[in-house]
Amino acid sequence: MTANQNRRQPAQSTVQPRRIRFRYPATAWPRHFVQGDLVMSHMIAHLSAVFPEGEDFFIRSVRRFSDQITDPVLKDQVKGFIGQEVTHSREHRALNERLHEMGYRTRTVDRVLKRRLKAAEGRFTPLRCLAITAALEHFTAVFAETLLADEQAQALLGTTEVRSMLLWHAIEESEHRSVAFDVYRAVGGDEALRIRVMRIIRFSFPFTVLLNTVISLFGDRAAYHPVRVIRSFAALRRSPFLTRAVFQRLGEYTRPGFHPDDHDNTALLEHWSAELFGEQGTLVDRLH
């Protein structure tokens, strides 16, 4: 294993779970809570719906190998990773209940995904499940860092509690982005399997998100106005999450010798740690 593969950024040497809870107002939200955008609202609702079971799958995949980790730094990171993911799962379940009340398919998606992930764990080896986790963690980290780095992406979320929750989720995904990857390497995961799994997920994951977004739209009366739907889908071409730079970062994962820390996020984490959780941080009052 090369020195490049062993490298870790100092900013990521500690993965610290935050005891946090978000407070969603009792008053009704606008149905299309992402700046009134029809498609993006359904897409974000679907992504939120998959997080609880997805995060639980990630935890199980990493935990199966925790006894094989001998590096004390990585052992601490695994504990922090699990702590952060447990909180992500809990907070997204709370958000998903509100989205369900607004008419989104969050409960249905949660039930279906739970069955599918259990089936996958019965069909695949633990190492392949860990490779799947590492690949999907790369997806979430790339999109998380796009949100944190791009003012247009942040503007899409307006000023609601959803914005606050997703910014918190994004910074923690960025903090632990390499943990599953490093566990995979530490327990003998090979490059061929890692790359092969990502090549499948790189196309299957976006396709699944798009398909489920379309299915969700069928349950929304506003989606039966063709002009609005067409305009909303057309706006995706300008989305900061669908740029060439984002797709290039996703594709880097299939390069032999790749490591998530090849892309330095130290300054980004320092900025948002201070912005959200510093002395005057905007989310300090959510911490417990």
Distance from C-alpha of 260 to C-alpha of 276, rounded to nearest angstrom: 24
In a domain, 63, yes or no: yes
Q: Which two tokens stand for residue 128?
A: 């392949």
CB 46 within 8 A of CB 212: yes
Q: Which two tokens stand for residue 267?
A: 């300054």
Q: With a cut of 50, say whether residue 4 has pLDDT above it.
A: no
CB 51 within 8 A of CB 209: no
Average pLDDT over residues 218-224: 95
Q: At what angle do helices 38-63 and 226-235 cross, to 10 degrees?
A: 50
- Looking at residue 160, its pLDDT comes to 86
In a domain, 16, yes or no: no
Distance from C-alpha of 67 to C-alpha of 281, rounded to nearest angstrom: 37
CA 200 → CA 93, 189, 254, 283, distances in Å?
Answer: 28, 17, 11, 37
- Looking at residue 7, its pLDDT comes to 46
Average pLDDT over residues 271-277: 97
CA nearest neighbour of 164 among 32, 283, 55 = 283
CB 209 within 8 A of CB 159: no
DSSP 31: S
- Segments in the chain forming alpha helices (H): 3-6, 38-63, 72-101, 106-123, 126-149, 151-156, 161-175, 179-186, 191-217, 226-235, 244-252, 266-277
pLDDT confidence tier of residue 288, bands split at 50, 70 and 90 = confident
In a domain, 79, yes or no: yes
- Residue found under tokens 């009134």: 36
Q: With a cut of 70, say whether residue 164 has pLDDT above it.
A: yes
Provide the residue range defining the domain that includes 48: 35-278
Q: Which two tokens stand for residue 122?
A: 């019965």
- Looking at residue 10, its pLDDT comes to 37
Q: Which two tokens stand for residue 273?
A: 């740690």
In a domain, 143, yes or no: yes
- Looking at residue 131, its pLDDT comes to 98
pLDDT confidence tier of residue 29, bands split at 50, 70 and 90 = confident
Q: With a cut of 80, say whether residue 6 has pLDDT above it.
A: no
Average pLDDT, the chain: 93
In a domain, 3, yes or no: no
Q: Which two tokens stand for residue 45?
A: 């609702």
Q: Which residues pair with 20 in a beta bridge?
A: 287
3-state secondary structure of 287: strand
- String of b and e for 184-193 (b: at least 16 CB within 10 Å)? bbbbebeeee
In a domain, 218, yes or no: yes
Average pLDDT over residues 101-122: 96
Amino acid at 239: S
Q: Which two tokens stand for residue 240?
A: 């900061």
pLDDT confidence tier of residue 156, bands split at 50, 70 and 90 = confident
In a domain, 233, yes or no: yes
pTM (predicted TM-score): 0.93
Distance from C-alpha of 16 to C-alpha of 14, rounded to nearest angstrom: 6
Tens digits of per-residue pLDDT, 171-180?
Answer: 999 999 999 9
Question: 243-247 long-range CB contacts below 8 Å, 24 or more apart?
Answer: 246/142, 246/143, 246/146
Give the number of domains in the chain.
1
pLDDT confidence tier of residue 140, bands split at 50, 70 and 90 = very high
Tens digits of per-residue pLDDT, 40-83?
Answer: 999 999 999 999 999 999 999 999 999 999 999 999 999 999 99
Average pLDDT over residues 185-197: 97
- Looking at residue 13, its pLDDT comes to 64
In a domain, 14, yes or no: no
